Each structure stands twice: as C-alpha cells, then as structure tokens.
Amino acid sequence: MLHIYFRSLFLFALLLMVGCSKSPADASSPASTKAQIEEAEARFVVFSPAIGVMLRDLGFEDSIVGKHTYDTALSDSIAVVGSHIDIDYEMLITLAPSDLFFERNTIEIPQRVRTLADENDWQIWSYELKTLDDIATTIDDLYLKLVGFKEKQVDDDNFLDFDIDPTAKFDVELPSARLASAWSPIGRAASNAGLMLILASVDPPGAMGPGSFHAQLIGRLGIEAAIVDGGMWQELDLEDIIDLAPDSILVFMPSKPSSDDLIGEPEPMTWEQIQAKVGKVSTLPIPAVEHQRIAIIEHPLGLLPSSSLGQVADEITTAVRAWDARVP
C-alpha cells in the first residue's frame, strides 16, 4: 500500500474550477446541489480510499454503494468492488452506479470500465493525489460539484451539467480553508524541532523523502526535513539514521480505524511507551533520542492522501509544540 501514500495549498480561484481532468465519459464540468444529487438517486462506487474519505467528509457516505478493497474508513455495510487491477465486474454491474471515482496513478482505468460506463451512462471522475495541492484542489472540486452552487443548467438530462459563475465561489468557505489552517507554519516550535526524519516503518526503517506529501506537510509547518535527496520512499538501516543525525523523528503507526477516527485527540505517550514501539531506533546516539524528540502519529488515516491530513497536521503540531514546551 505504500505506493498510495505518495500520491501551497491552493491553486488560486480560477484553478479550482479545473481540478478534475476528464475523458469523454468523465463528469468534470459542473456543480450541483446536494438536494439534486439525492433527487437523482446518486450511487457512487469509489475506487480510491482517499476519495472515499473526502466524499464521507463532505456528507456523501450514504450515496456510496461500492468501495475499494483496501478501504478502512467507510462503513462495513458498503460493498467491496475491488481495485484498478482487480474489479469485481459482476458486483459493479449489480450495484448499478451513477458515478465511478478513480485516483489517477500508473495504472490506467480498465477499458472494460470505460465501455460499461458508456453503455450504462455512468460518469467517471478521475483525480490525481500526488501532492498536498492535489488533495486541496480535489476536495474543493468535489465540494463545488456536489455541494456547492449552480448558475445555469446546460443539459436537462444531466443534473451535473451546469455552467458555473466563477465569482460565486467567494460566497462560500471551501473545504481547503480547513486544510490551509492546519497546514500553516507553527513558528518557533517548528524551528526548535530541527532536522526531522519521517518514518513509516521502524524494522527495517523506511523513510518518506523529498516529493512525498508527508515531507511537503512538515515543510508547510515550517519544519526542515532531515532527508533532502533521493526518492519519496527510502529504505534505511540504523547506520543511515546515525549519519543523518536527526534532531526529531516522526513515526507513522496508524491505529485501527474506528467510527470516530476524526474525533478527539490521541493520548500523550510516555518516553518508555515510545521506546517500546520504535525499538532500536530509540537507542541510537542521535539528537532525537538524546532530547527525547520522537513522536508516534497514530491517526488511522495518517498515510492516506486525503482530507484526513488536516487532522494529521494537528497531531504533528501538538507533538512538536510539546517538545518546544520543554525548551528553556
């Protein structure tokens, strides 16, 4: 699943209207109201856990009838229809969707899906989620099309086909405003965190490097990354970490998802609890260990390129400010 994780903020107003690229079968031009979506009995099949979370956060979980194999956030009652490479076509046809949502990656949408979409008048939505900008633009685009406003209906037979007044977006607060707040510099605490190493595994150590949205995230908070060269995912050994000499370390260890994973704050861990979880990394002769600046990020969706990264940023900020509070 690590390939999904690497997939400011804000392109300015006009770019928000083009966040979704389209093919002939793609729904990508228009906005409509939630009432219209419900009236048309929208039935969404979502082949992306990240987009599934966005739709849930926008209030459309009840419209989702099918989800990705590895989705852990949506209701267990929603049918599993597979992934790009392993689609249960019998289930897909049975669900009779109105819209299919895909995350663009190196695997193309299967031609059979496009053929079925043409034959059954299913709309295909396709988004790229490689960067923080992609995430912000995508959730705004979904909001504008599904929740937002309309100007003039173009096609009486397609409730999603509307011309949009470009200035109307200034009358509503877009979802990316919440992300903008969470992804903002945190001042002195960020500076005092020093060079930060971001790990998604500890045995063996696996780090998120330049270009990953986690590296982008700490950069938005004003924190300097310990790894500045190489790929988005890097396998390390303990000697590599000693050579990097990070001043602080974030370790992503998502907890088991629950129905309230967007509510509340994680319980602070003692240094002994952190050591038990990260093992040998917590014994290395590095500044992060000397100053006990290792934090475990447990948000269930912490490795997903979705709207959940607002809460993930809050969790990181809380940890970094706790370290700062110990500085004389």
Among the listed residues 224, 177, 198, the one whose alpha carbon sits nearest the alpha carbon of residue 297: 198
User: What is the model's pLDDT at position 25?
Assistant: 40
User: What is the model's pLDDT at position 40?
Assistant: 59
Do the beta carbons of residue 208 and residue 232 sit within 8 Å? yes
Domain ranges of the chain: 2-173, 183-325
User: What is the model's pLDDT at position 148?
Assistant: 72
Cα separation of 307 and 52, whole Å? 10
Q: How far is Cα of residue 28 from the mean position of the Cα atoms in its chain? A: 20
Q: Enumerate residues 6+ apart whose C-beta is below 8 A from 152.
A: 162, 163
> CATH: 3.40.50.1980, 3.50.50.60, 3.20.20.70, 3.40.50.10800. Which one for 2-173?
3.40.50.1980
User: What is the model's pLDDT at position 18?
Assistant: 34
The domain 183-325 belongs to what CATH superfamily? Answer: Nitrogenase molybdenum iron protein domain (3.40.50.1980)
292 token code pair: 């006990």
Ordered DSSP codes for 45-89? EEE-HHHHHHHHHTT-GGGEEEEETT--SS-TTSEEEEETTEE-H
Q: pLDDT in tens for each of the 328 residues of the chain?
A: 444 433 333 333 323 333 343 333 444 433 344 444 444 589 999 999 999 999 999 999 999 999 999 999 999 999 999 998 899 999 999 999 999 999 998 789 999 999 999 999 999 999 999 999 999 999 999 998 998 765 544 455 544 454 555 565 566 688 999 999 999 999 999 999 999 999 999 999 999 999 999 999 999 999 999 999 999 999 999 999 999 999 999 999 999 876 554 445 677 899 999 999 999 999 999 999 999 999 999 999 999 999 999 999 999 999 999 999 887 6
Residue type at position 293: R
Kind of pairing between the strands at 195-202 and 205-208 = antiparallel
* 3-class secondary structure, 142: helix
User: What is the model's pLDDT at position 38?
Assistant: 47
User: What is the model's pLDDT at position 20?
Assistant: 40
Cα separation of 164 and 152, whole Å? 7
Topology agreement, domain 2-173 and domain 183-325? yes
Cα separation of 137 and 150, whole Å? 19
